[in-house]
Amino acid sequence: MRARAPAFVVWIVVGALGLTAAVAQEPPADRPPTVEEPLPDRPEAAPDTVSAPAPEAAPASRVDDARPPVRPEESEAAPPPAAPETPETPEEPVADDDSPAVPPLPAQPSPLSLGSQLTLPTEAPLALAQGGSVPATPSIPATLRESDADYAACLRKIDRLGVGYTEIEPITDPEDRDCGIARPLQVETLRGGITLEGGAPMRCETALALAEWTRDFVLPAARRLPDSPRLTGLQLGSTYDCRGRVGTGAEAPKLSEHALGNAIDIMAFAFEQGEPLVVTPRAESGDMAEAFQRAVRGSACLFFTTVLGPGSNEAHDDHLHLDIAARNGGWRLCE
């Protein structure tokens, strides 16, 4: 006959099993609830085998019941992208019967068709080239022509200096286009009634230099002569003259400043009493005539850029050559 265990032993075993199950089901009190995070993409691990029997009912907030998110490969295959739709061509608006009709644009000729319609001016340049009448560069008088402002300023200056002049027509030369004066003045007198015998055509700048030199140096020097004669006139040699420069070659000489209205030659100084004081070699004469000639010749280099006279060369032994030729750096030639 099998002996039965006492009743209190059975209750002890049953109680122990129940306590074990309760501890396994509830989380620790001091650990915060775990936030559910998505699992990385990896093969799903097989569920661990639980030796203890699963509980019949579990709370909805338990972490153990959370399931991993669905992996991309487990989701349904995405449908292929739809082909881009071809934009529909907008229909041209139909004009109302009352709106005015727009005429169509004329057809534009192509560049190739234009070539057959154009006529290039080949005959005129050829004829001009054969005739040789078209200059390649502007003439010297054209380059020396004063601007309106400069010309007006020069006229005001010579007016204040008491110069008697007349504006005349431009001077040109049919044989040499580089000869001439674009804005010439016919100068007849200087301040104090000093005459230029026969008058002289020249540029305004030449007349200005002549007037200032005469006022500032020639007149004071004349008063130093014996008996202080009054200067009444300048006897002139060459004024405007279309010719080459002396001593620059016979075949192709350089153009003289006389051909541009930039130069004037003085042969003698006329006085109210006595004979004119002519320009001549006076070296070592030691008189007042030599002193006067040296004084006016030396001072002329303050107003003119070229001053030649007796001793410069044989061509200038009988006159003073004065001109306003422009040179690089303002260089002056005074001999």
Q: What kind and span of H or E run contains 288?
A: helix 288-300
| pLDDT band (50, 70, 90) for residue 131 | low
Residues 256 and 243 sit within 8 Å (Cβ to Cβ): yes
* CA neighbours closer than 13 Å in the CB half-sphere of residue 43: 2
Pairing state of beta strands 333-334 and 185-190?
unpaired
Over the stretch 135-160, which tens digit does the pLDDT of each residue have? Answer: 568 999 999 999 999 999 999 999 99
Q: What are phi and psi of 172, to 5 degrees?
A: -130, 170
Over the stretch 29-76, which tens digit does the pLDDT of each residue have? Answer: 454 454 445 555 554 444 444 444 444 444 444 444 445 454 544 444
Q: What is the mean pLDDT of the chain?
A: 76
Rounded to 10 degrees, the C-alpha dihedral 227/233/237/238 comes to 140
Share of the chain above pLDDT 70, in %: 58
Query: Residue 178: which of 247, 261, 265 has the closest Cα?
Result: 261
More confident residue, 77 or 301: 301
CA gap 280, 316 in Å, rounded = 9
CA gap 314, 31 in Å, rounded = 130
Tell me the domain boundaries of the chain: 141-334
CA gap 242, 320 in Å, rounded = 19
User: What is the CATH class of 141-334?
Assistant: alpha beta
What's the confidence (pLDDT) of residue 285? 83
